[in-house]
Amino acid sequence: MDYGTGVYRECVHNPLAGYASLGEIKRNYTWPSPDWWVYSDIREQVRSKEMYPIRGGGSEPFLIYKELRGQEQALVDLLCGC
């Protein structure tokens, strides 16, 4: 999302939102594999940007869960203990 003076990431698809149970997810969902991406050009991408911090990920468990299930379903999951 570009707001003029910067950008931020916004979730536009919740891949686990339509599943009713953990078993259903295990049977039907294909988790991403690290092998799907090419990492050989990372060194070149960061060259000449040594003065900037590089973020390689985050640690916000509920935010990640919410992006997978969708905000409404994630909150319902908390309420019902799903």
Residue 57's nearest CA partner among 29, 25, 34 is 34
pTM more than 0.75: no
Domain presence at residue 51? no
Domain presence at residue 48? no
Domain presence at residue 64? yes
- Count of domains forming the chain: 1
Domain presence at residue 15? yes
Q: What is the pLDDT along the chain (82 residues), one digit of tens a residue?
A: 888 888 888 888 999 999 998 899 999 999 999 999 999 998 898 888 888 887 776 778 899 899 999 999 999 999 987 6
Is-contact 7 1, C-beta < 8 A? yes
Domain presence at residue 11? yes
Domain presence at residue 50? no
Its domain, for residue 30, covers 1-43+57-82
Domain presence at residue 52? no
